[in-house]
Amino acid sequence: FNDFYIHIVDHCCWLKNAWPVKAQAVGARQYRSDAEGRLFVDQNFDNYSVEYTFADGTKFFMDGRSMTGCHDIYASYLHGTKGYAIASKSGDCGQPSSTYKGLSANRDNLLWESKVAPDERDPYTNEWNDLTSAIRNDKPYNEVVRGAQASLVSSMGRMAAHSGQEITYDQILNSTVEYSPGSDKLTMDSPPPLRSDADGKYPIPMPGLIGDLEYRV
């Protein structure tokens, strides 16, 4: 979940310049094995739909699935009373961004389209340039807080889907759940913190049945 959905969550919250105060969500597992019968051992759902709510009531809907052979799209769109916008056409920062009158993204409705210098089109390179510039010029550069907040909000959505409960920002921030109890004491000879059952299956979320944890170990 967090490994790729977090990028959509991060830049959409950046556009809003705020973090959601709560989330509710649904999710499901369609398959327990691939077409050849090989068992899937992951614990996540195959698809998620999260409704994030900001303090002013604004909604942010995040939908995602990890299913081979399905229609592939990784983008973010904004709908408002004055029209429609594309924040990212493809990937984390798929350019160009654009705004439209009405709700149809065609050239006739185009109001604005971003233009970026060729040497600034790769966001990863931009981040490296910012970091190396800060190092060379002895200036502060620290995105730890924002990274932690993006991770927290992503986990809030996942917890809402896995538990079947509405989860607030304060709840997930103050959660005492340990996803890997005793991990600070693990050695190369320690048993794994999570073990499969006799059939090779790992615990999975059971929304509504297990409400205080994402799954029982």
Classify residue 202: in a domain, yes or no. Answer: no
Residues facing 27 on adjacent strands: 48
pLDDT of residue 63: 96
pLDDT of residue 84: 94
pLDDT of residue 192: 84
Domain that holds residue 170: 2-185
pLDDT of residue 217: 65
pLDDT of residue 37: 85
pLDDT of residue 79: 94
CA–CA gap between residue 84 and residue 100 (Å, rounded):
5
- Which tokens is 125 given? 């390179």
Instruction: List the CATH number of the domain containing 96.
Output: 3.30.360.10
Classify residue 203: in a domain, yes or no. Answer: no
Residues 6+ positions from 43 with CB-CB distance below 8 Å = 202, 203, 204, 205, 215
Residues 6+ positions from 18 with CB-CB distance below 8 Å = 54, 55, 56
How many structural domains are present in the chain? 1
CA distances, 198 to each of 34, 201, 202, 203 (Å): 20, 7, 10, 12
CA–CA gap between residue 61 and residue 50 (Å, rounded):
6
Classify residue 192: in a domain, yes or no. Answer: no
- Which tokens is 43 given? 């614990």
Classify residue 8: in a domain, yes or no. Answer: yes
Classify residue 173: in a domain, yes or no. Answer: yes
Average pLDDT, consecutive stretches of 10 residues, N- to C-terminus, the chain (217 residues)? 89 96 96 83 91 98 91 92 91 80 92 89 88 96 94 96 96 88 88 83 88 75
Strand segments, DSSP code E, in the chain are 22-28, 47-53, 59-65, 76-80, 83-88, 98-100, 110-113, 167-168
Classify residue 199: in a domain, yes or no. Answer: no
Classify residue 87: in a domain, yes or no. Answer: yes
Classify residue 205: in a domain, yes or no. Answer: no
